[in-house]
A and B are shown apart, each in its own frame.
Chain A
Amino acid sequence: MIAGTPHYATDDKAERVRADFPILATRTSKGKPLVYLDSAATSQKPRTVIDAISHYYEDYNANIHRGVYEIAERATDAYEGARKRAAAFFNAASTEEIIFTRNATESINLVCYTWGFEQLHSGDGILLTRLEHHSNIVPWQLLAAKTGAELRFLELDEQGRVILDDLEEKLQGTKLVAITQVSNTLGTIVPLERIVPAAHAAGATVLVDGAQAAPHMRVDVRTLDVDFYAVSGHKMLAPTGIGILYGKRALLETMPPFLAGGDMIRRVAYDHATYNELPWKFEAGTSNIAGAIGLGAALEYLEGLDMTWVREHEVALTAYALERLDQVPHLHLYGPKRADERGGVAAFTMGDAHPHDLASILDAEGVCIRAGHHCTMPLHELLGLTATARASFYVYSTFADVDALIEALEKAARIFKL
Chain B
Amino acid sequence: MDELFYREYILEHYRSPHNYGHLENPDISVEDDNPLCGDRIRVDLKVEDGRIADVRFEGKGCAISQASASMLTDVVKGMTLHDTLRLGKDEIMENLGADTLAAARIKCATLGLKVLKAAALRALERAAETEGQRP
Binding site for B on A (CB under 8 A): 30, 352-357, 360-361, 363-364, 371-373, 380, 386-387, 411, 415-417
Flag if B3 contacts A357 (CB, 8 Å): no
Quick check: B3 and A364 within 8 Å, CB to CB?
Answer: yes
- Residues of A near B63 (CB, < 8 A) are 353-354, 357, 416
Pair count A-B, CB < 8 A: 52
Q: CA separation between A355 and B38, bound complex, in Å?
A: 11
Taking a contact as CB atoms under 8 Å apart, the answer to whether A373 and B3 are in contact is: no
The 9 A-B pairs of least Cβ separation, nearest first, read A386-B38, A354-B62, A356-B62, A357-B63, A415-B6, A357-B62, A364-B2, A387-B38, A356-B37
Residue of B nearest to A372 (CB): B37
A78 to B1: give the CA distance in the assembly, Å: 44
Q: Which residues on the A side are within 8 Å of B14 (C-beta)?
A: 352
Q: What residues of B have a CB within 8 angstroms of the CB of A357 in the complex?
A: 6, 62-64
Which of chain B's residues 106-122 have a Cβ closer than 8 Å to chain A? 108
Chain B residues with CB under 8 A of A416? 6, 11, 63
- Does B128 count as interface, using CB distance less than 8 angstroms? no
**Hey, which chain A residues are within 8 Å of B62, CB to CB?**
354-357
Q: Which of A30, A352, A356, A380 contacts B105 (CB 8 A)?
A: A356
A36 to chain B, nearest CB (A): 17
Task: Check if B2 sits within 8 Å of A30, measured CB to CB.
Answer: yes
Residues of B near any A CB (own CB < 8 A): 1-3, 5-6, 11, 14-15, 36-39, 60-64, 102, 105, 108
In whole angstroms, what is the CA distance A221 to B103 when docked? 42
B48 → A minimal CB distance (Å): 35
Q: Which of B3, B37, B39, B108 contacts A415 (CB 8 A)?
A: B3
**How distant is B22 from chain A, measured CB to nearest CB, in Å?**
20
11 A-B pairs (CB sep. < 8 Å)? A354-B63, A356-B37, A357-B62, A360-B1, A363-B1, A363-B102, A372-B36, A373-B38, A387-B38, A415-B11, A416-B11
Q: How far is the CA of A30 from the CA of B37 in the complex (A)?
A: 25
CB-nearest residue of chain B to A386? B38
- A373 and B64 alpha carbons, distance in the complex (Å): 18
Residues of A within 8 A of B108 (CB): 356
Separation of A380 and B108 alpha carbons in the complex (Å): 20
How many Å lie between the Cα of A314 and that of B1 in the bound state? 31
Within the assembled complex, what's the spacing in Å between the Cα atoms of A163 and B62? 33
Q: Are B3 and A361 in contact (CB under 8 A)?
A: yes
Cβ contact within 8 Å between A360 and B102: yes
- Bound Cα distance A364, B6 (Å): 12
By beta carbon, the residue of chain B nearest A417 is B11
B contact residues around A355 at 8 Å (CB): 37, 62
Q: Which of B3, B15, B105 has the most CB of A within 10 A?
A: B3
A363 to B3, CA, bound (A): 10
Measured in the bound complex, the distance between the Cα atoms of B1 and A361 in whole Å is 7
Q: Considering the complex, give the chain A residue whose CB is closest to the CB of B101.
A: A360
Q: Which of B2, B60, B64 contacts A356 (CB 8 A)?
A: B64
Please, how many angstroms separate the alpha-carbon atoms of A30 and B6 in the complex? 17
Instruction: Tell me, rounded to whole Å, the shortest Cβ–Cβ distance linking A311 to chain B.
Output: 32
A86 CB → nearest B CB, Å: 33
Q: Which residue of chain B lies nearest to A352 when distances are taken between CB atoms in the complex?
A: B15
Closest beta carbon of chain A to B76's beta carbon, Å: 24
B121 → A minimal CB distance (Å)? 27
Report the nearest B residue to A360, measured CB to CB: B1
Question: A411–B3 contact, CB under 8 A?
Answer: yes
Closest residue on chain A to residue B108 by CB atoms: A356
A364 lies within 8 A of B15 (CB): no
Question: What is the CB-to-nearest-CB distance from A31 to chain B, in angstroms, rounded to a whole number?
Answer: 12
A171 to B31, CA, bound (A): 42
- B15 CB contacts on chain A under 8 angstroms: 352
Contact of A386 among B1, B2, B5, B60 (CB under 8 A): B60
